[in-house]
Structure 1
Amino acid sequence: MVMDMNSNRKAVFLDMDGTLFSHTTGSIPDSALYAVKKARDNGILLFGCTGRNTQELEGLGIDLDLMDGWITLNGAYCFNEQGIIHSDPIWKEDMELIVAEVKKDPFPILFSAKDRMFINMYDAHVEKEMEKIHSAYPPICSIDDALAEPIYQMCPYVDENRWKALLKHLHVQAVQWTYLVWDVNSETCTKANGIQAVCDYYGIRKENTYGFGDAHNDIPMMHATGIGVCMGNGADETKQAADYITGHIDENGLYDAFVHFGLTGEEKI
């Protein structure tokens, strides 16, 4: 389904961690929340664009109604209040291989379905990383649960050499975010593909889109939008890929950029 909408309408795609949600305060800055609401009042479409799933977002206290729609799990599951816009789960054959490998020589994997998370086991590394991202501890379930429903993302906590050897047999892409943790999605899954699916659905032209991020995995999102904006707290390589660099998330950076691009319909105060 493609919505019949004005192709001149603007859309903003917002990363969550480090862009909208501050890990310093454990919340969305008031100025950012104000900017998002003013932009929507101004007729701008807003979409969350995150590696998290809905369970995690709600666990952080983020209201899903804050946005017009969501690109979750790095583009693997995109939806609005009408339903699913785009879906790209990990292949069932790949999940079967992973489950067999873990049964043979166990290591922790965090699995994300469309609206729930579960893990097969915990260790000290898992607990340390979960604390870093302010995420609630998901329940422990049988590894076989990973075959019972579509899995859109998994995060293995495993030695780099072992994981790279396993990767050779999988149709996935993996982004390493610490030396023991990876974000793993289908080989065709990116935030950029999720953005394209949303733009096609709403009839939005690329030149009318803005992508806000701070991390390396936000670079494809910036390239997929008309204007890429990096937060002042962002990584150097992300800043180099951006068209515009705004202030730090905790120093009204998101609000300042929204006003700079006329998204709120007001002058900077």
Structure 2
Amino acid sequence: MLALVCIDVDGTLVGSNNEVRDDVWTALEEARSAGIQLVLCSGRPAFGRAREYAERMQPDGWHVFQNGASVVRVGTGESLSSEFPAAELRELLAAAEQSGELLEVYTDTAYASTLRDTQAREHAELLGVPFPPLWPAELQGTPVRAQWLIRYEQLPTVRAITPAGLDLHPAGSPRMRETLFVSMTAPGTSKGSAIRRIAESYDIPLERTMMIGDGENDLQAMGVVGHPVAMGNAEDVVKAAAKYHVGHVDAGGLLEALALARQL
């Protein structure tokens, strides 16, 4: 049996209805009772629904939010988060103002948005947080991540106006199919770097860890664990990087992956 299993949220834990299946919660409880350390490993922030998922999944454990920018022990509030570079954030805000694209800025506990349009409202609903969010100038605390919300075909344009050196983590959501979330973190910050830190804190060798995901932002995590698993709905590049393949999220693919973790 593996010692640590990391689980993405959108398209892995959560299906197209933005809910977690009851049988998935039962399987997670059984895995935890069997001794597996469960880690939420999401691009979502450390508040709203993602925080609730983490607390239910492993109440006393470390979890990964914001593509590795927020690493939080939900039971105690301890944080190993990485600060977003201030100069690059100023450049991003200027680029957002000039381009008119939606940019979000996050701390560990709150977020701000440059627009309050339909897309921003839908994202707030997806996250399970109040709308409207703060304006960037109103955001208090240490920024850890920024994120573009764009159409898929706009990715080359957004890459061109994003400051060099930042780590980009594009990902989608079954609930907002037309939107590409391009998360940006400080250099060297990713789900992969966060998993390394968590595994070390638990004294668990990486060869006894699993990452289950579906999006491009899961690739760095898959590259550090011993057992990478791709969901049936995963992007082709994720399937190519995975050692194991399971069913679609809406067909209970995560149940297959958890069963596999208990057999390895």
Counterpart-to-counterpart distance in 2, 1:98 and 1:154: 8
Measure, in 1, the Cα distance between the counterparts of 2:258 and 2:250. 15
Give the CA deviation at 1:107.
4.4
Q: CA deviation at 1:145?
A: 3.0
Q: Deviations over 1:115-169 (max 9, x none)?
A: 2222132235545x638956556434333235x42112222346656633432x4
> In the alignment, what sits opposite 1:79?
72
1:164 paired residue number: 159
Quick check: 1:11–1:45 contact (8 Å CA) kept in 2?
A: yes
The whole-number CA distance in structure 1 between the counterparts of 2:208 and 2:156 is: 43
Asked if structure 1 preserves the Cα contact closer than 8 Å seen for 2:2 and 2:262, the reply is: no
Using the alignment, how far apart are the partners of 1:20 and 1:139 within structure 2? Answer: 26
Match of 1:174 among 168, 174, 195: 168
For 1:175, give the aligned amino acid: H
Q: Identify the residue that residue 254 of structure 2 maps to in structure 1.
A: 254
Spell out structure 1 runs of 4+ moving beyond 6 A. Answer: none
Contact 2:116 2:132 in 1 (8 A): no
Q: Decide whether the 8 Å contact of 1:120 with 1:140 is kept in 2.
A: no
| 8 Å CA contact retained: 2:170, 2:217 | no
Shift of 1:199: 0.9
State the TM-score, normalizing by the size of structure 1: 0.80
Mark the runs of 5 or more structure 2 residues left unpaired by the alignment.
172-177
SS at match of 1:196: helix
Tell me the number of residue pairs that the alignment of Structure 1 and Structure 2 aligns. Answer: 252
Structure 1 70/124 Cα, relative in aligned 2: closer, same or farther at 3 Å? same
Partner of 2:175: none
CA deviation digits over 1:4-48, x for unaligned, max 9? Answer: xxxx97101111111111123x31112211111111101110000
- Does 2:48 correspond to 1:48? no
Superposition TM-score, scaled by structure 2 size: 0.82
Distance 1:194 1:249, change over 3 A: same
**Aligned pair 1:97/2:97, yes or no?**
no
Q: Which runs of 5+ in 1 are unaligned?
A: 1-7, 265-269
RMSD: 3.0
Matched to 1:98, the amino acid is: L
Give yes or no for contact 1:90–1:172 (8 Å, CA) kept in 2: no
If you compute each CA radius of gyration, which structure gives the higher value, 1 or 2?
Answer: 1
Q: Distance in 2 between matches of 1:120 and 1:65?
A: 32
Once residues 156 and 261 of structure 1 are traced to their aligned partners in structure 2, the CA distance between those partners, rounded to angstroms, is 34
- What is aligned with 1:231? 231
Q: Is the 8 A contact 1:213 1:230 kept in 2?
A: yes
Question: Secondary structure, in 3 states, of the residue corresponding to 2:262?
Answer: coil
1:90 counterpart SS class: coil
